[in-house]
Chain A
Amino acid sequence: MTFSMKRVAAIFNKDLKDLSRNMYVSTSILIPLVLAAIYGRMADELSIDTYYLVINLAFTMTATFIQCAIIAEEKEKNTLRGLMLSPATVVEVFIGKSLVAFSLTALTIIVSCLFMEYNPENIVLVAVGMIVSTLFYLALGTLFGLLARTVVEASVIIMPVVFLLGFGSLIESFIDKYPFLRVAEYLPNLQIIDLASKVQAGSGLADVWPHLGIMIIWFLLTSLITIVVFKKKEIDV
């Protein structure tokens, strides 16, 4: 059976409509927006770290949490089985579902950037970095959604992710004191900050490529684990 955009669009439209009536999940996008509005009024120009404190929070609260909650709720209410027994392929189901969180993440980040008046020196490079990051956070949300049994459980298991990746840039201030934390520099949230810092300093693709590469590896690795977990849970053996 071939890939069908109609089926993807049907799942996307259903999720968008469903999410618009789910205040518990949809209000999570307000957290980065409120933070962006506050920071935007604090100074004329903010540091890259501050911009990305908000942006990384948007990744975790919107891409990861919403994706995780959408999938966990489908499992909790046994509706995912209905989709999986329909002609929609697994790829179509997950693309349809991911498009909602992807669109909301893009919207949240764009509005946050406008609130904070963040103007990257090279918007294309930064946008590519953000897209790769969003894909990683979506894969992470899908993974946690498959592991969680309920929406409430999803909102609990997502907390370490929010702290580690949402506020993770704070770890950098401890690296001098605790050198083992240097490994955290490879986390995708710090990679995007490094990428954005270099872009702001005038660097091009050749200079930021290693950061993009590390983020792509994170995305591929998380996707692989997600596929393995899905395959294990797809059929009750």
Chain B
Amino acid sequence: MVEQMIKVKSLAKIFGNQPALEDVHFEVNKGETFGFLGPSGSGKTTTIKILTGQLKATSGEAYVFDQPAALLNKPQYRKKFGVVTDNSDLYDRLSIYDNLKLFCDLYDVPAKRINDVLEMVNLGNEQKKIVSKLSKGMKQRVQLARAFLHEPELLFLDEPTSALDPANSKHIHDGLRELTKKGTTIFLTTHDMHEAEILCDRVAFLHKGKIQLLDEPKKLRRQFSDASLQVLLKDGRELSIPGGPEGAQALYDYMQADQVVSIHTNEPTLGDIFVEMTGRELV
């Protein structure tokens, strides 16, 4: 039986009169990378805060490590998880090394681990740099390095690569894959659909505080695909050929006549699916 790291049932959070989360249900399995996708203000960060014991839910149940999530606020559970949120900041008058050394001491991790985690985020040679002199992207990588220090069982990442260039994003993605190979469970919130597609085993689409869809990315793409093919012909025409016997015959004819330059599936991206579900872009 699959061990579940997170279990959420009928979770709701209301700020004043404004519902932030409504009747949210999901589970996250051990070792899984679970994507929680939605635009800004959809309730992603609120969910992370509830799951890490920083915020009380208005109603419903949230369990992490089989314990009520509110208990994660207790010191004995804190070594088991790590959090990177878009507002978890660093001590900007201190060096990268000093920032990480503090957390090595707090988590009882040997200081030599600092080298390993800085390599993971491509900052191996920057240990002595003062944080105030770093770019936003470099700060984000230091935050990630800090979260990797104690090799948590469960990692909450809130928009972890939002300020990174593609090369550094790839470096971080490789690091995250390494962690999942070692058994770390990742709860990832993002509005970067490409990131979700390449990293997540399952994704949930959150919109206006409710989960609209939840499944594996490839199953969702298949579910929303119309099975048609995009065909580019030598005469420059681009055709959308429907699935089924009729389409197959048409494609066969073009190929027989040596007219075909390229064939692509019309499978939607996660972004397309989100827009179709909610009628709005992910921003």
Contact = CB atoms under 8 A, between A and B. Distances in A.
Interface stretch (B22-30, B70-78, B121-129, B252-260): B70-78
A89 B75 contact: yes
B73 A235 contact: yes
Nearest to B99: A14
Given A14-B94, A17-B94, A85 B107 contact: no
A22 B93 contact: yes
B49 interface: yes
A7 B49 CA distance: 24
Contacts of A6: 105, 108
B38 to A, nearest CB: 20
Interface stretch (A47-55, A56-64, A76-84, A128-136): A76-84
B105 A9 contact: yes
A78 B88 contact: yes
B83 A85 contact: yes
Nearest to B49: A236
A18 B107 contact: no
A61 B88 CA distance: 29
Contacts of A77: 89, 91-92
A88 interface: yes
Interface in B143-197: 146
Contacts of B78: 85-87
B90 interface: yes
A237 interface: yes
Interface residues of B, number: 29
A14 B88 CA distance: 17
A211 B52 CA distance: 45
Contact of A237 (B56, B79, B90, B107): B56
A227 to B, nearest CB: 16
* Number of chain A interface residues as a range: 20 to 34
A1 B91 contact: no
Contacts of A82: 88-89, 103, 146
Interface in A205-237: 234-237
B106 A88 contact: yes
A56 B161 CA distance: 50
Contacts of B233: none
A54 B33 CA distance: 60
A13 B105 CA distance: 11
Contacts of B94: 14, 17-18, 21
B75 A1 contact: yes
Nearest to A237: B56
B54 A236 contact: yes
B105 A10 contact: yes
A81 B105 contact: no
Interface string B46-90: 000100111110000000000000000101101100010001111
Contacts of A88: 75, 106
B268 to A, nearest CB: 37
Contacts of B105: 6-7, 9-10
Contacts of B93: 18, 21-22
Interface string A66-108: 0000000000011101110111110000000000000000000
A236 B50 CA distance: 10
Nearest to A88: B106
Contacts of B55: 235-237
Interface string B204-232: 00000000000000000000000000000
A11 interface: yes
B52 A85 contact: yes
Interface of B: 49, 52-56, 73, 75-76, 78-79, 83, 87-94, 98, 101-103, 105-108, 146
Interface of A: 1, 6-7, 9-11, 13-14, 17-18, 21-22, 77-79, 81-83, 85-89, 234-237
6 contacts: A1-B76, A78-B88, A78-B89, A85-B52, A236-B49, A236-B55
Given A82-B103, A236-B54, 4 more contacts: A77-B92, A83-B106, A85-B83, A235-B55
